């Protein structure tokens, strides 16, 4: 009786976990598919940017790549959770073993990726900086502002930073050189009194930046990295996901063993 109760609890606990991941996977897959098919309506619905800037915001490979990433993540979550749920409900050792094996492979891949990122930390930092540098080379102002410029404006205005390492990074953008006029830095690098419209607190900031009226010497890479490190919630989420991952693996293999023992008892 105790054996049946423990197996029953483990079985339906696994089902509940996988049902939750199934729903989340379906939502992520749906959002990714929607973003890939019709970027305009989704961005307008979520109000990610002002309506007049949606056209420029969607004309970027970043949005398209994000859509494909969401589709892949959603599809993996959908497949894995469906496999685990079906295996538990049908008491199939084959499905549960396959499910647990996939979970172990994902866990190992995550650990290896994290280890490589830690081991090659300086190279990862250099590559990520180089990537950011390539996105800032098209930075521009005016009516023809593109999605990369909009995203940089959002990043700089919300995090209080300027460029990747400092304001000199904008010198690599020919579009910035052509559109800046007498500006030394963009408005987004200034201390702002209106973040939404990028209105500087000091009108002379864009032409005569200083430490008091701007963030022109403060690079966004270091600021964003420090912000990530300081996010305890993110660390807790990662640890929580790892624990849930291990619990699912233990439950799956435990049920495999329990179902095998139960079938032997019936013979």
The per-residue pLDDT for 80 is 92
pLDDT band at 143 (very low <50, low <70, confident <90, very high): low
* 249 pLDDT higher than 70: yes
More confident residue, 38 or 219: 219
The per-residue pLDDT for 54 is 47
Average pLDDT over every residue of 142-169: 85
Query: Which of the residue ranges 42-46, 152-156, 193-197 has the most confident prediction, judged by mean pLDDT?
Result: 152-156
Cβ contact 21:81 at 8 Å: yes
Inter-residue long-range contacts of 241-245, CB under 8 Å, 24+ positions, other chains counted? 242/107, 244/17, 245/103, 245/106, 245/107
pLDDT band at 45 (very low <50, low <70, confident <90, very high): low
Alpha helices in 90-120 (DSSP H): 93-119
* 2 pLDDT higher than 50: no
The per-residue pLDDT for 1 is 42
* 236 pLDDT higher than 70: yes
Give me the CATH code for the 138-230 domain, please.
1.10.1450
pLDDT, mean over the chain:
83
Average pLDDT over every residue of 97-124: 88
Phi and psi torsions of 94, nearest 5°: -65, -50
The per-residue pLDDT for 215 is 93
- Could you count the other beta carbons within 10 Å of the beta carbon of residue 215? 24
pLDDT band at 162 (very low <50, low <70, confident <90, very high): very high
* 176 pLDDT higher than 80: yes
Average pLDDT over every residue of 60-69: 72
pLDDT band at 128 (very low <50, low <70, confident <90, very high): confident
Q: Among 10-19, 87-96, 140-149, 155-164, where is mean pLDDT lowest?
A: 140-149
The per-residue pLDDT for 197 is 81
Cα three-residue angle 170-173-175, rounded to 5 degrees: 120
C-alpha to C-alpha distance for 139 and 150, rounded to whole angstroms: 9
Average pLDDT over every residue of 188-209: 89
Tell me the pTM: 0.70
C-alpha to C-alpha distance for 54 and 43, rounded to whole angstroms: 7
Residues whose CB is less than 8 angstroms from the CB of residue 38 and which lie 6 or more positions away in sequence, other chains included:
none
| Residue ranges of domains in the chain | 1-119+233-266, 138-230
Torsion of CA 244, 247, 251, 257, to 10 degrees: 150
* 83 pLDDT higher than 50: yes
Q: Among 5-9, 36-40, 54-58, where is mean pLDDT lowest?
A: 54-58
């Amino acid at each position: 009786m105790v054996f049946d109760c423990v197996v029953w609890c483990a079985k339906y606990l696994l089902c509940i976990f996988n049902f939750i991941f199934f729903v989340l996977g379906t939502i992520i897959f749906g959002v990714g598919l929607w973003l890939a098919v019709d970027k305009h309506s989704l961005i307008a619905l979520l109000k990610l940017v002002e309506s007049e800037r949606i056209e420029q915001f969607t004309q970027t490979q970043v949005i398209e790549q994000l859509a494909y990433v969401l589709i892949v993540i959603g599809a993996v979550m959908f497949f894995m959770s469906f496999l685990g749920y079906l295996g538990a409900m049908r008491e199939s050792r084959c499905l549960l073993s396959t499910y647990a094996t996939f979970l172990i492979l994902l866990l190992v891949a995550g650990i290896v990726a994290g280890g490589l990122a830690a081991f090659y930390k300086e190279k990862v930092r250099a590559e990520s900086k180089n990537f950011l540098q390539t996105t800032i080379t098209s930075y521009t102002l005016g009516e023809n502002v593109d999605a990369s410029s909009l995203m940089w404006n959002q990043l700089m205005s919300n995090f209080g930073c300027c460029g990747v390492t400092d304001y000199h990074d904008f010198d690599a953008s020919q579009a910035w050189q052509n559109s800046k006029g007498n500006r030394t830095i963009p408005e987004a690098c200034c201390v702002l009194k209106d973040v939404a419209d990028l209105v500087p607190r000091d009108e002379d900031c864009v032409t005569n930046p200083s430490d008091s009226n701007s963030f022109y010497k403060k690079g966004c890479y270091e600021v964003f990295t420090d912000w990530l490190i300081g996010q305890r919630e993110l660390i807790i989420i990662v640890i929580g996901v790892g624990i849930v991952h291990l619990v699912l693996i233990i439950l799956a293999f435990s049920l495999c063993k329990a179902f095998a023992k139960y079938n032997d008892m019936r013979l």
